[in-house]
Amino acid sequence: MTRLNINGQDRTVDVDPSTPVLWTLRDALGLTGTKFGCGAALCGACTVHVDGQATRSCVTPVAAVEGRRITTIEKVTDGSDPVGRAVREAWVRHDVAQCGYCQSGQIMSATAFLKSRPRGKPPTAAEIDAAMAGNICRCGTYARIRAAVADAARSLA
Amino acid sequence: MLIEHLPELPRALQHLAERDTSPAALPRRGFLKIAGLGGFALGLGPLGAADALAQAAPAAGLKPTQQPASFVQIAPDGGVTVTLNRLEFGQGIGTGLAMVLAEELDADWSRVQVRHGNSDPAYADPLYGMHLTGGSTAMKHSYPQYRELGARARAMLVATAAARWKLEAARLRTAAGQVIAPDGRRVGYGELAEAAMAQPVPAAVTLKDPKDFRLIGRATGRLDARAKSSGQQDFGIDLKRPGQLTAVVAHPPVFGARLASLDDTAARAVRGVRAVLRVPVAAGGEGVAVVADGYWAARQGRDALKAEWAVSAVERVDSTRQLAQYRALLDQPGPRAFDADLAPLATAPHRIEAEFHFPYLAHAPMEPLNCTVQLGDTQAEIWTGTQFPGGDARAAAQVLGLKPEQIRMNVQMAGGGFGRRGVPSSDFVVQACAIARAARAAGLAAPIRTVWSREDDIKGGQYRPMHLHRARIGFDRQGRVLAWDHVLVGQSIVSGTFFEGMVKNGIDPTAMEGMREPYPFPMRLTVHHPKVNVPVLWWRSVGSTHTAFVMETLVDEIARATKQDPVAYRLALFGDQHPRHRDALKLAVERSGYGKRALPAGHAWGVAVHESFSTVVAWVVEASVKDGRAVLHQATAGVHCNLAVNPRSIEAQIQGAGVMGLSMCLPGAAITLKDGVVEQSNFGDFVVPRLTDAPEFAVHIVPSAEPPTGIGEPGLPPLAPAFANAVAQLAGRPVRALPFALG
């Protein structure tokens, strides 16, 4: 049995301790907003926040995050988090998604990035590029991702 | 991928079309009933409470694809649900076709949603008669269809209100989901829908005058934007049926190899593993499926297998050797697509001889391939993101030993595809069905979701074929081409599939689409289709992925060799014969600042224009080369797709196709084989563009009122040659291979 704190709730899961957080969320807890893309920390589709830090859940075993706060796309975009809400609204406003499969991970990376920055100091284009370079979008929505991150930052300023 | 061959296709597919559209092909009651969709009134087609279909009185002679009941549902609260006859996998067709139907229906757009259809005949392509998402055909073929569907439903609602108010239907008007009487009385569609169902379905309807369009032509946000921006959108891989198990497959290391030995002791000992099954896989090979409670247990079980395959019994491809074999074919006789006189080559004042090489490419959609199968005694239900639900249902029936009408294929939202979910052999669906059948035989009655890992996807074949081109061109001092001798070598995509009928004179038209047109060059084109043990498939924009590169870089080279501006040279060749090419190119040139704006030192312009799938796209790019690496800074598109139904979606598709075109250029964007084994395995060694590779994009659309053409693919082909044309000027030598190798 592994005790996890997910989206502010304590959950106990009966999985092998080597099981990645990704598959624990998806298969054991039914939280399918976090996506499987590569299984090797190469594409970012599985990004969650562990104690606020953007983390690749596909290579993070549950045993490594016991007692730490895990936040998923479902919580970040439920409206209760001002940064997550701003990012979600910017994503809708800019019609970023095409297939949408990678966008949970994109939003989790963007949200962690904006939370890590001081308010009132808009990120530069180069900073946005660096923050989002780890997330692959095969549909090629990059131009709108750039615009949406900048817009979300402005709306939070 | 198919539209180029419109005259041939219907004949080639006739046997399919007949089976696909037979009204008796699927029972409309009971089995096709979908749960959880109660509350609708108008529109009780194959996805709904089917009994109502019998109540409605369809107009004689209307095909299943023309019956509004299969496409429009109106709930008592006025909510409108449009059913899609295509796979939505990012291209925006769900929003686009909903706009088209809602326009003629005069629906309240804020109350419109969309859902996927299934393998029922209603959801076949109205022109081809088969279930198909491909060839950028969806809007082109279904624009008139969805307009008429909306107009028919509207007419039935108006007739109902007219009867209720005892007024002539012609005196009533509609707006935003309401019927409005001359005296101002209003009634919502939701209130009318149930009674409207009893109205006869009109065969002939009058469509709106385009000047009255309120939705079509307006930049409109996607209907799924919010769900996809909050982790709420379910894809095929997210499906969870009660008691569902997950299968992961160990594929043979070489295509088509069969098992020599298997020790599954350790795999069976993994906690959660329920079964280990030997199953047939693509290309005649044999694999091992590990079925477990969830993905991770199945994956661990697979990794614990000790399996060996008899690889010496199959051809083991080596990419280096294969290139030499292709090169040896260049001087062999072969079938010719065009056959111009080559005599002027010998005396031409200028000559270019060029060889081009293009590698295999994986589609690598972000959602790994998956398919869930629930197998019963006399029926099976399948959930998957597929571009060919009809073909897949037939293939599934064969594997499962059922009749096609005993298969229900539920099309799921897909996380990309780019051709990989439109497989003539139905490889991943057949595999999932084989696993479900073997599991049932082993006593596991649960629904089984088969999931491919990324490694399975990258190594799993179905690639854009490797190609070798050779051109020998003679031209005069004005750049007039006197003779062009061209040879193209590459595997046929359609040979041996149910699209085989497209092959003409030994030539697969999907390999050479995009050659020569729109240029009036005297060309001889010889085509060789070697057989190679690597499964190949259409990859977004298909033949144009390589033909556009060859043609557009060579045209540029001729222009530069004769000291002409590449834009002026192209425009002169187009003359008045190709106004859409001219207009698309001029628009991109004008908006990019080409030839007017001074570029920074070390930057260069690059231009290319290409028609594919009836749409013309021109790219004008600004690029540089830094430390041996080509960088794309700015890309401006001019697009001619006739009527722009949703400009916002068109912009997204052109940007996305531009990024995928860029993907062909990046070092590492190649699938290679050594001793039969694919050398790449994941995004670490099969490189795809990241945000830092993407340029600034600008997309401009040529205004037009002509019937819309496709948009999913045509933005891709001209991007790489435009980029290469800029790089060639900076590097001082032409670019003759993808991905770029500038070192």
Tens digit of pLDDT for each residue in B229-269? 999 999 999 999 999 999 999 999 999 999 999 999 999 99
Distance in angstroms (rounded) separating the CA atoms of residues B743 and B729: 15
B616: left (phi over 0), alpha (psi -120 to 50) or beta: beta
Work out the burial of residue A104: count CB atoms within 10 Å of its CB; fewer than 13 is exposed, 13-18 middle, 19 or more buried.
Answer: buried
Q: What is the pLDDT of residues B479-513, one digit of tens each?
A: 999 999 999 999 999 999 999 999 999 999 999 99
Distance in angstroms (rounded) separating the CA atoms of residues B178 and B193: 11
pLDDT at B60 over 80: no
The residues pairing with A54 across neighbouring beta strands, listed in sequence order, are A49
A70 at the B interface (CB within 8 A)? no
Q: In this predicted structure, what is the pLDDT of residue B103?
A: 98
pLDDT at B31 over 90: no
Q: Which residues of A touch B293 (CB under 8 A)?
A: 27
Cis, peptide link before residue B518, omega less than 30° from 0:
yes
B689 at the A interface (CB within 8 A)? yes
Residues whose CB falls within 8 Å of the CB of residue B320, separated by 6 or more in sequence, listed in order: none
Phi, psi of B649 (to 5 degrees): -70, -40
Count helices and strands in chain B by DSSP H and E runs: 18, 26
CATH code assigned to B330-361+462-731:
3.30.365.10
Q: What is the pLDDT of residues B172-201, one digit of tens each?
A: 999 999 999 999 999 999 999 999 989 999
Identify the CA nearest to A52 among candidates A39, A67, A37, A68: A68
Nearest neighbour of A140 by CB, restricted to B272, B414, B655 = B655
Nearest neighbour of B230 by CB, restricted to A88, A102, A142 = A88
Smallest CA–CA distance from A135 into chain B, residue: B690
Whether ipTM > 0.90 holds is yes
Q: In this predicted structure, what is the pLDDT of residue B29?
A: 23
Nearest neighbour of B454 by CB, restricted to A38, A130, A142 = A38
| Residue B573 structure tokens | 């060749």
Average pLDDT score over residue span B95-121: 97
Residue B3 in contact with residue B135, Cβ under 8 Å?
yes
More confident site: B56 or B712: B712
A135 at the B interface (CB within 8 A)? yes
- Give A119→chain B minimum CA distance, Å: 23
Fold of domain B3-229: Aldehyde Oxidoreductase; domain 4 (3.30.365)
Q: In this predicted structure, what is the pLDDT of residue A119?
A: 80
Q: In this predicted structure, what is the pLDDT of residue A106?
A: 98
Q: Which single residue is written with the structure tokens 């609602």?
A: B157
Evaluate the CA torsion angle B356, B362, B364, B365 in order and state its sign.
positive
Neighbours of B625 (CB within 10 A): 18
Q: In this predicted structure, what is the pLDDT of residue B24?
A: 31
Neighbours of A64 (CB within 10 A): 14
Work out the burial of residue A17: count CB atoms within 10 Å of its CB; fewer than 13 is exposed, 13-18 middle, 19 or more buried.
Answer: exposed
Q: In this predicted structure, what is the pLDDT of residue A120?
A: 80
The residues pairing with B354 across neighbouring beta strands, listed in sequence order, are B471
Distance in angstroms (rounded) separating the CA atoms of residues A6 and A20: 14
Question: Please, which pLDDT band fits residue B56 given cuts at 50, 70 and 90?
Answer: low
Distance in angstroms (rounded) separating the CA atoms of residues B376 and A106: 40
Q: Which single residue is written with the structure tokens 């998923």?
A: A72
pLDDT at B441 over 90: yes
Per-residue pLDDT tens, chain A, 157 aa: give them: 899 999 999 999 999 999 999 999 999 999 999 999 999 999 999 999 999 999 999 999 999 999 999 999 999 999 999 999 999 999 999 999 999 999 999 999 999 999 999 888 899 999 999 999 999 999 999 999 999 999 999 999 8
Query: Which of B99, B229, B687 is best to mutate for the A interface (most A CBs within 10 A)?
Result: B229
Residue B103 in contact with residue B147, Cβ under 8 Å?
yes
Q: In this predicted structure, what is the pLDDT of residue B38?
A: 32
| Residue B565 structure tokens | 């501006």
CATH code assigned to B238-313+369-451:
3.30.365.10
The residues pairing with B605 across neighbouring beta strands, listed in sequence order, are B622
Interface of B with A in 173-212 (CB under 8 A): none
B552: left (phi over 0), alpha (psi -120 to 50) or beta: alpha
pLDDT at B71 over 70: yes
Residue B569 in contact with residue B479, Cβ under 8 Å?
yes
Q: Which single residue is written with the structure tokens 């279904």?
A: B142
pLDDT at B391 over 60: yes
Interface of B with A in 395-434 (CB under 8 A): 414-418
B688 at the A interface (CB within 8 A)? yes
B683 at the A interface (CB within 8 A)? yes
Average pLDDT score over residue span B347-371: 98
The residues pairing with B507 across neighbouring beta strands, listed in sequence order, are B504
B453 at the A interface (CB within 8 A)? yes
Distance in angstroms (rounded) separating the CA atoms of residues A46 and A104: 8
Distance in angstroms (rounded) separating the CA atoms of residues B331 and B228: 52
- Give B719→chain A minimum CA distance, Å: 13
Q: What is the pLDDT of residues B324-339, one digit of tens each?
A: 999 999 999 999 999 9
Residues whose CB falls within 8 Å of the CB of residue B206, separated by 6 or more in sequence, listed in order: B151
pLDDT at B37 over 50: no
| Residue B356 structure tokens | 């081009």
Residue B106 in contact with residue B154, Cβ under 8 Å?
yes
Query: CA–CA distance from B563 to each of B527, B566, B596 (Å)?
Result: 32, 9, 18
Q: In this predicted structure, what is the pLDDT of residue B59?
A: 61
Distance in angstroms (rounded) separating the CA atoms of residues B322 and B307: 28
Percentage of chain B lying above the pLDDT 90 cut? 90
Distance in angstroms (rounded) separating the CA atoms of residues A139 and A137: 5
Architecture of the domain spanning A78-156: Orthogonal Bundle (1.10)
More confident site: B42 or B111: B111
Query: Which of A80, A107, A111, A142 is best to mutate for the B interface (most B CBs within 10 A)?
Result: A142
Q: In this predicted structure, what is the pLDDT of residue B19?
A: 43
Q: In this predicted structure, what is the pLDDT of residue B61?
A: 83
Residues whose CB falls within 8 Å of the CB of residue A42, separated by 6 or more in sequence, listed in order: A136, B682, B683, B684
Give the range among B28-32, B408-412, B722-726 with minimum mean pLDDT.
B28-32
Average pLDDT score over residue span B451-462: 98
Percentage of chain B lying above the pLDDT 70 cut? 92
Phi, psi of B278 (to 5 degrees): -80, 125
Smallest CA–CA distance from B655 into chain A, residue: A140
The domains of chain B are located at 3-229, 238-313+369-451, 330-361+462-731
B622, containing H or E segment: strand B615-626
Question: Please, which pLDDT band fits residue B50 given cuts at 50, 70 and 90?
Answer: very low
The domains of chain A are located at 2-75, 78-156
Q: What is the pLDDT of residues B557-612, one digit of tens each?
A: 999 999 999 999 999 999 999 999 999 999 999 999 999 999 999 999 999 999 99
Q: What is the pLDDT of residues B274-301, one digit of tens each?
A: 999 999 999 999 999 999 999 999 999 9
Average pLDDT score over residue span B401-410: 95
pLDDT at B544 over 50: yes
Neighbours of B511 (CB within 10 A): 27
Q: Do B238-313+369-451 and B3-229 fall under one CATH topology?
A: yes
Average pLDDT, chain B: 92
Nearest neighbour of B90 by CB, restricted to A88, A99, A145 = A99
The residues pairing with B626 across neighbouring beta strands, listed in sequence order, are B629
Q: In this predicted structure, what is the pLDDT of residue B516?
A: 87
Nearest neighbour of B648 by CB, restricted to A95, A135, A138 = A95
More confident site: B43 or B220: B220
Architecture of the domain spanning A2-75: Roll (3.10)
Q: Which single residue is written with the structure tokens 């990376």?
A: A109
A28 and B295 in contact by Cβ < 8 A?
Answer: no
| Residue B78 structure tokens | 């006025």
Count helices and strands in chain A by DSSP H and E runs: 6, 5
Neighbours of A126 (CB within 10 A): 9
